[in-house]
Amino acid sequence: MDTELLGRIKQLIERHTGCSFFNYKPDTFQRRLLRRMFCLGIKDMADYETYLAKNPKEYTALLHSLTIKVSEFFRDPEIFNYLEQAVLPAIFKAHAQKNDYNIRIWSTACAYGEEVYSTAILILEYLQRMEDAERSRWHITILGTDIDPLAVEKAVDGVYSIKSVKDILPLHPNAFERIKGMPNHLQIAPEVRGMAQFVCFDIATAKRLSPPAGIFAEYDLIYCRNVLIYYDCQQKLDTLYRLYTCLCPYGYLVLGKAEGIPDELSACFIQVKPGIKIYRKENVHG
Ligand SMILES: C[S@@+](CC[C@H](N)C(=O)[O-])C[C@H]1O[C@@H](n2cnc3c(N)ncnc32)[C@H](O)[C@@H]1O
């Protein structure tokens, strides 16, 4: 494979979208690029380079093709059980003690929004168990970011097939509502959607510490699940360190089932419970 040509394509992507694939796993990059070329009927990568340079709209389609969007509501239920039972109550308590009623959560690679809305559903149910006066004090922001603009668009819509949510529907019946003219789909209820914001953002670039909507960082909870598996070790390390700096002093980081904190950052995080990939920030730098 022509590595120079691949490098030029990555440069084009970075120049036009601001997203970097230089530390993306080379096999994944190449495989997904070839898939996109196949869809267009282009066999030669040099021809694709020319096509890309002449068709600015192709960047959106390419970003969509390069990334893998597998996700589901309440993925890894043990994580969400622990969040509901222990982490969310701890976050609410810590804020109430400071008379600060703003909670900030960030799902860094949110795919079609499943992780964001799962969290919003749990928080809404938590708030609904409070007295009215107490509930009205709280302001919750759940930010979902993803590198893929098409995924972000879909996340904003919050429309899912009934098939994909059938297992969780009986547990959270008020979280979804019917859509006129779309009998096989449901939309996230407005109250739940109202807690979520979505924006395109590449967590692999070092250019910004936290996403545009999160001016002051200080996140209580950050999800970074099943995304760094597609990047090399240095990228993992750099990104996790940046996320560490975006967390508030007692903030929590959630990783995917097969992921962990690299040894280099072991002093920065403490796992809250063996077997559960939730980590609490350790304030090694004060
Ligand atoms: C396998 S999905 C994981 C979704 C969700 N976090 C979960 O665990 O179910 C990976 C997501 O990461 C996104 N992604 C890949 N590279 C990214 C980057 N550099 N910045 C932000 N999102 C990225 C992809 O577009 C995709 O939506």
Q: What is the CATH number of the domain that holds 36?
A: 1.10.155.10
> What is the spatial distance between Cα 44 and Cα 49, in angstroms, rounded to a whole number?
9
> pTM value?
0.96
Residue 113, ligand 1, Cβ within 6 A: no
Q: Which residues of the chain have pLDDT under 50?
A: 286
- Residue 71, in any domain of the structure: no
Q: pLDDT value at position 229?
A: 97
Q: Which of 15, 43, 66 is the last residue in one of the domains? A: 66
What 8-state DSSP symbol labels residue 86?
I
Q: Specify whether 142 is located in the same domain as 256.
A: yes
Q: Specify whether 158 is located in the same domain as 231.
A: yes
- Sort strands 219-224 and 102-107 into parallel, antiparallel or unpaired: parallel
Q: Are the C-beta atoms of residues 4 and 132 closer than 8 Å to each other?
A: no
List % helix, strand, coil for the chain (3-state, nearest 5): 45, 20, 35
Residue 251, ligand 1, Cβ within 6 A: no
Q: Specify whether 82 is located in the same domain as 53.
A: no
Residue 75, ligand 1, Cβ within 6 A: yes
Q: pLDDT value at position 38?
A: 97
Read off the tokens for 230. Answer: 């597609």
Q: Specify whether 57 is located in the same domain as 156.
A: no
Q: pLDDT value at position 214?
A: 62
Pocket of ligand 1, candidates 60, 67, 255: which has the most ligand atoms within 8 Å of its Cβ, to mutate? 67
Q: pLDDT value at position 213?
A: 57
Q: pLDDT value at position 253?
A: 98
Q: pLDDT value at position 217?
A: 77
Looking at the chain, the whole-number percentage of residues with pLDDT higher than 90 is 93
Q: pLDDT value at position 257?
A: 96
In total, how many domains does the chain have? Answer: 2
| CA 115 to centroid of ligand 1, rounded, Å | 11
Q: pLDDT value at position 286?
A: 46
